[in-house]
A and B are shown apart, each in its own frame.
Chain A
Amino acid sequence: MNRLHPLRALSAVGRFLRRDKKAMVGSAILFVLLVIAAFPSWFTPDDPAAEIYNPGAGLSWAHPLGTTSFGQDVFSQLMAGTRQSVMIALVVGFFCTILSVVVGVSAAYLGGLVDDGLSLIIDVILVIPTFPLIIVIAAYTKSASFWTIVFVLVVTGWSYGARQLRVQALSLRNRDYLLAARARGEASWYIIGFELMPPMTSLIAANFLGAALYAVLAAAGLQFVGLGNVNTQSWGTMLYWAQNNEALQAGLPLWALAPGIMIAILGSALALLNYAFDEVSNPALRPVKSRRTKAVRV
């Protein structure tokens, strides 16, 4: 295993992604959503909260996705809601990843009792069903603000990544090149930062995406049952209002289905990129180019 400067590792990963169709599609979708999230006003023809339109209207040019029972424009709400979901995905993903990396790599690198203790904590958190826990926590705060949701999701979501990173760090830790670095007298922070972590880049990226995906789905679920702040603009709260007003039965299916489609799109983009990064870490998974189906010839 040769030394990889972290920047070179990143660029190698970038080159691979450009070749992989899944990664291309995922990145493209993500990019579009990021733009919408950053500049929602470009995409909202009407004020999303304004209840001034004809309630329960069907599709029309003025309202491409119809209106809600309250008279709001569904399409504008959809665009406005992008920001919250994208933000949750990125923020939670970011903090989860930092926590996973710190705990996972430390446990692997420090070994001994520290490793035992940290592993126990990681495994316990992994095993406890977190969604009921999130529900319970959110219930006590009544109307969870953005940062409360972030906090809860990060605390419950970091352990999966930590476990994966710990396993990989452990397998790398005893490789000869690291022992050589230690023998050379390199400082620990250098070894961890420049020798141990670069080969783990794709796994770290995959973890970030996985955490982001988890955050989007969990946050949507919380808001759907009314545990988020129901007065903000987000896809989850749209679903909440739609469900509470029996949108499906009232003949306004798009009100209920459209936000779900958006969540599915964001989720898919994250999942596709996640899988693409998995393939970087494990080349055996890459698509096989053969023209006919061939079962293993025995």
Chain B
Amino acid sequence: MTTPILEVRDLKVEYTTPSGPAEAVNGVSFDLAPGEFLAIVGESGCGKSTLLFSIAQLLTYPAKTVGGSVKFDGVDLTTLSAEELRGHRWRDISVVMQSAMNALNPTLSIGAQLADACRAHTDWDDEKIAERSAQVLTMVSIDTTHLKSFPFQLSGGMRQRAMIAMALLLEPKLIIMDEPTSALDVVAQRSLMRQVENLRRELGFAVLFVTHDMSVVSHFSDRLAVMYAGEIVELGATREVFDRPQHPYSSGLMDAFPSIVGEMRQLTGIAGNPPSLVNPPSGCLFAPRCQFATDECREFRPELITVQDHAVRCHLVNPRTR
């Protein structure tokens, strides 16, 4: 059994709000194997981006990591000082953000931004930096003349690919992606995902991918985690979760997506709203919206229990032992 590249245990993140602290991430735990592609899906506000940035140690006020551990290759990132953390950044873990237009410095050229990362972590000379920069741009099919271009001179799809190129610079073991396809049209989305997949096969990095749109990752991820109100409610092999969702929320999500093939079904949404994170309900967080909820659900918070590599957080699936 290989050591997981990432071990997240009981991670908790709070936001300071005028009405008190809001629990945005509520005790999330999972492992990520080297080279594995794990997708985290959930509706807006479920805490998935917060989770991602907490793992990457990039949170700022008003968000704060208040508990848990994040072990990368055996080293707990939450205990490191800022200087020690800096050493791990980009070399081990790199990040791809949602909107490349916002994530790239408008006043520096692409080449300069690539060189930045190189100079911060290696002692490469200018020639080596230029060589590597050209190499990564070619990997994502961007013409190397664009090293001199500025972000506003590139198209949306190109900018996003440039970000991926930047993420590959130092051959990291893990790339974290926060909804990188949300700003793209469907065709560009597909092309980007395929490019990521090819690179992953070739270079062997692990991917942690957050999205609200499951269809984007369904053909590429190894495992799928469903998040709700700051908790993981289901985690398993992608096809398993897709075809046989066990948590009521997950099955509600799957039902909300129509299929092009197959017979016409009645589309159902999930009635209700996500719970308040400042005053969460005492029992299962999904109980107020769940059509199967029992009194037990409303009283006791279910644990995430794994049965045959498929984890579900639901009393109905894994009844509480008395």
Contact = CB atoms under 8 A, between A and B. Distances in A.
**Is A–B contact present in the complex under a CB 8 A cutoff?**
yes
A296 B86 CA distance: 13
Contacts of A288: 61
Contacts of A294: 61
A290 B60 CA distance: 12
B95 to A, nearest CB: 13
Interface in A275-298: 288-290, 294, 296-298
- Chain B binding surface SS class: mixed
Contacts of B16: 289
Contacts of B86: 298
A290 B62 CA distance: 9
Question: Which of A289, A290, A298 has most chain B Cβ within 10 Å?
Answer: A298
Contacts of B82: 297-298
Nearest to A297: B82
Nearest to A290: B61
Nearest to A288: B61
B202 to A, nearest CB: 31
B239 to A, nearest CB: 39
Q: How large is the interface on B (under 10, 10 to 19, 20 to 34, 35 or more residues)?
A: under 10
Contacts, number: 9
Interface string B54-79: 00000011000000000000000000
B117 to A, nearest CB: 14
Nearest to B57: A297
B119 to A, nearest CB: 16
A297 B80 CA distance: 12
Interface in A175-212: none
Contacts of B61: 288, 290, 294
A210 B61 CA distance: 31
Contacts of A290: 61
A294 B60 CA distance: 10
B71 to A, nearest CB: 20
Nearest to B83: A298
Nearest to B86: A298
Nearest to B89: A298
Interface in B232-255: none
A162 to B, nearest CB: 27
Contacts of A298: 82, 86
Contacts of A289: 16
B50 to A, nearest CB: 16
Nearest to A19: B18
Interface string B14-26: 0010000000000
B52 to A, nearest CB: 17
B59 to A, nearest CB: 8
A52 B60 CA distance: 67
Interface in B198-226: none
Interface in B78-130: 82, 86
Nearest to B81: A297
B121 to A, nearest CB: 14
Interface string B30-69: 0000000000000000000000000000001100000000
A297 B53 CA distance: 13
B56 to A, nearest CB: 12
Interface in A240-295: 288-290, 294
A296 B85 CA distance: 14
A298 B60 CA distance: 10
Nearest to B59: A297
Nearest to A295: B82
B89 to A, nearest CB: 9
A99 to B, nearest CB: 34
A294 B61 CA distance: 10
B268 to A, nearest CB: 28
B80 to A, nearest CB: 11
A297 B61 CA distance: 10
Nearest to B62: A288
Contacts of A297: 60, 82
A252 B86 CA distance: 62
B137 to A, nearest CB: 26
Nearest to B60: A296
A287 to B, nearest CB: 12
A297 B84 CA distance: 12
A231 to B, nearest CB: 54
A296 B60 CA distance: 7
A102 to B, nearest CB: 34
B91 to A, nearest CB: 15
A106 to B, nearest CB: 30
A289 B61 CA distance: 10
A297 B60 CA distance: 8
A296 B82 CA distance: 10
A276 B16 CA distance: 22
Contacts of B60: 296-297
B102 to A, nearest CB: 15
A288 B61 CA distance: 9
9 contacts: A288-B61, A289-B16, A290-B61, A294-B61, A296-B60, A297-B60, A297-B82, A298-B82, A298-B86
Interface of A: 288-290, 294, 296-298
Q: Which 5 A-B pairs have the closest CB atoms?
A: A297-B82, A298-B82, A288-B61, A290-B61, A296-B60
Given A288-B61, A289-B16, A294-B61, 6 more contacts: A290-B61, A296-B60, A297-B60, A297-B82, A298-B82, A298-B86
